[in-house]
Amino acid sequence: MRDLFFLFSTTLMYSTPLIFTALGGVISEKSGVINIGLEGMMTMGAFSASLVAIKTGNPWLGLMAGGLGGLALAIFHAIASIKYKGNQVVSGMAINFLGSGIAIFLCRLFFDGTSMTPPLDLEKKIPSFFGQYATVYLALLATLFIWIILNKTVLGLRLISVGEHPKSADAAGLNVSLYKTIGVLSSGFLAGIGGASLSIAIVSNFRPTLISGQGFIAIAALIFGKWRPVQTSIACLFFGLSQALVIFLGGREDIHISSQLLSILPYVLTLLILVGFMGKTTSPSALGE
């Protein structure tokens, strides 16, 4: 029973950054813009959150700063892919390199040449309730909120319409570029929150290897979830379970599995999901156009 509780709580904890980031990807791609740059936005969000939490002692300001850090990079992606109609995949990959580079540069600038921030004191971390960080509950609320936005509001319907039929939306008088920009900036903010939930809650500091593919796993989760908020969050729980299993099996003395093999488990599952489901899902009709 104790083992099951450990797996459950650890799954929720490690799913949280993926849920925020994947939900951001859902909004962007529902509006028709591919966002491969989630990894870089997470990285920038993780650093910004850690910096502000350390300097102010307030983790909530750190969380907000993380969202703004991701949003700042999303502005570049929006300008390149929407205003100048650049290749969205190339722009996203550039954002990944840019986010990592800027975060490490600023980290060395603010922390005496080191590429990682000092660990946060306990009182400067995101508080926990009932055994879970507050970000876990925020991620679940974000899932519900985004589902309502996309399915029950005019804004959501317009975002979906510009992602499915942009020419028809334009003919109906909608500002297609505006709604696509809203989608991209929202994805950057949520990805930044996802990175922040790692650096000021789970891990307690920023370092260059902190994200390590989490943004790409989030992309796999939104594909697995068929670009739907609830299903995407469930997919993130699946990937969170894989990380929980890595920790659980790695801590068992009666099970002898190479730590190197365990560490690649989440990424192997990501590849299997993409291979198994990529041809069975239907993306927004005008995605990438």
pLDDT tens digits, the chain, 289 residues: what are they? 777 888 889 999 999 999 999 999 999 999 999 999 999 999 999 999 999 999 999 999 999 999 999 999 999 999 999 999 999 999 999 999 999 999 999 999 999 889 999 998 888 899 998 889 999 999 999 999 999 999 999 999 999 999 999 998 889 899 999 999 999 999 999 999 999 999 999 988 999 999 988 999 999 899 888 899 999 999 999 888 888 887 777 656 556 666 666 677 777 777 776 676 655 566 777 786 7
Please report whether residue 2 resides in a domain.
no
Q: Which domain holds residue 75?
A: 14-280
Q: Give pLDDT, residue 252.
A: 60
Does any domain span residue 29? yes
Does some domain include residue 289?
Answer: no
Residue 24 lies in a domain: yes
What's the full length of the chain, in residues?
289
Q: Is residue 5 part of a domain?
A: no
| d(C-alpha 72, C-alpha 69), whole Å | 5
Per-residue CA distances from 273 to 19, 171, 217, 276 (Å): 17, 38, 10, 5
What is the structure's pLDDT at 256?
Answer: 61
pLDDT at 244: 83
145-154 burial: b if 16+ Cβ within 10 Å, else e: ebbebbeeee
User: Could you give the number of structural domains in the chain?
Assistant: 1
Does residue 285 belong to any structural domain of this protein? no
Does any domain span residue 179? yes
- Cβ-in-10-Å burial (0-12, 13-18, 19+) of 63 comes to buried
Domain annotation covers residue 59: yes
Amino acid at residue number 265: L
The pLDDT of residue 287 is 81
- CATH number for the domain that contains residue 270: 1.10.3470
pTM for the whole thing?
0.92
Residue 134: half-sphere exposure toward Cβ, Cα within 13 Å: 9
